[in-house]
Structure formats: C-alpha cells, structure tokens
C-alpha cells in the first residue's frame, strides 16, 4: 500500500492567502493541531496552532508569516510503513504527499491509515492472534505456517518486531480460528514460546488500547 492510496479527500490544504483565523477554524473542524499550506501546487509546509498564536494576528495571511514552516512530507510512491514512521517521528496526525515534481497531491490522516491498516492486517476477519517470542536465527515463516496449517487453519496476516540490542524477536500472527488451544499446544511441542494469545474479543480491546496509546503519543 502506497502513500498515494492513503490520501484523504476530506482535508483540503490551506492556501498562503488564507488567514490565521481561517486556519484555526479548520483545525477546530478537523480536530487537528496542524495543517499543510500550499502556494499554488507547491507545499510551503505545516502550520500549527502555536505558530498562529505566536503571530498574534489571526487576520494576517499565512503566506506573510515570518517563520520557517516545518516542510515534512512523503512522496506518492512511498510505502505505508514509511509513512507511519515519518508521521510518528514528526509527531503529526496529517502528512502531506508530493509527486515526483514536488507538486502537492493531498494529505494523509492518521485515521485513514488506521482504517487501511485494519483491512491490510485482516483485523476485521474473525480469528485469533498469537505472539511468538524466538531468537532471530530461529525464525522460519514456512515452519510457522506449517504448524498453523497442520491444525487446519490459515495465517491471515503477520507482523515482525525485533528488539534493539537483542537477538530476540516477536512474531505476531493473525489466524482464521478463534479457538487457538490446539495450535498453541503444537507450537509448544516445537519449543516455541507463546508470549501472548488473544481471542477476538480480547484482541479488539488490545487493539483499541494500543491505538489510544499511539494517539496519546502523537499528541505529546
């Protein structure tokens, strides 16, 4: 999934001729603390509520502000994981998208990403989740798949997380069964460590908790 597939049609950019008052009204409407500003097809950068308050003149055109706007963006063909990483690093809830000629195409909201990722990760499909802990050198997706399939199940999606300064890794898999007891026993026979397991109801609570924690981090 690429950046161009994630562009939100609901959030238009501010123009350099718009006033600080207009920007504040839009931020209030969209529940955002920053928005992109464009001049024609070109991105000037991101403006924040603090930028407008510091200017102390909400009738002034945004293009006349004597500040250096944060010009963070992604290109249209960058992968969704790169977009998420860039947004988290910049602590943004919206990210401008440019084409290869640096023309502004639109912006990506964190809400759109979460909706798309939920479909990509098969979160809406019924099933359960297993989190395996293993050494990096022992990782074999084919073996993990064989264990799951030997119990008449299928892996719907998977996610790998490696620990800094460690040889350990976590492999999280979504399986198309809610009763994981037989699959867990098979993994344990192969000496896998089950770090966590979630049935559908538990999984939804955990996803909501992590989602809320991520939004809290972005608002810090």
Structure confidence by residue, pLDDT tens digits, 38-58: 999 999 999 999 999 998 888
pTM: 0.62
Give start-end residues of each CATH 3.30.70.260 domain in the chain. Answer: 122-218
Q: How confident is the model at residue 88, as a pLDDT?
A: 86
CA pair distance 20, 98, nearest whole angstrom: 24
Q: Does domain 3-117 have CATH number 3.40.50.10680?
A: no
pLDDT over 90 (residue 7): yes
pLDDT over 70 (residue 190): yes
Would you tell me which CATH number, out of the four given (3.50.50.60, 3.40.50.720, 3.40.50.2300, 3.30.70.260), belongs to the domain 122-218?
A: 3.30.70.260
Give start-end residues of each CATH 3.10.580.10 domain in the chain. Answer: 3-117
Mean pLDDT to the nearest integer, 107-130: 77
């Amino acid at each position: 999934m690429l950046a161009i597939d994630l562009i939100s049609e609901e959030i238009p950019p501010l123009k350099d001729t718009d006033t600080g008052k207009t920007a504040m009204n839009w931020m209030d409407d969209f529940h955002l603390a920053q928005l992109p500003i464009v001049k024609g097809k070109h991105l000037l950068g991101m403006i924040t509520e603090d930028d407008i308050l510091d200017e102390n003149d909400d009738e002034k055109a945004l293009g006349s502000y004597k500040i250096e706007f944060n010009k963070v963006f992604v290109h249209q063909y960058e992968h969704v994981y790169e977009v998420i990483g860039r947004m988290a690093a910049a602590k943004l809830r919206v990210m401008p998208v440019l084409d290869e000629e640096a023309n502004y195409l639109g912006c990506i909201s964190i809400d759109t990403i979460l909706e798309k990722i939920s479909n990509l990760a098969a979160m809406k499909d019924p099933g359960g989740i297993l989190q395996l802990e293993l050494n990096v050198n022992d990782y074999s997706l084919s073996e993990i798949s064989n264990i799951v399939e030997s119990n008449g199940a299928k892996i719907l999606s998977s996610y790998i997380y490696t620990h800094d300064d460690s040889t350990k890794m976590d492999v999280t898999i979504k399986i198309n069964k809610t009763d994981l007891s037989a699959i867990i026993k098979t993994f344990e026979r192969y000496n896998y460590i089950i770090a966590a397991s979630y049935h559908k109801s538990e999984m939804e609570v955990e996803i909501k908790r992590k989602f809320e924690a991520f939004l809290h981090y972005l608002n810090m």
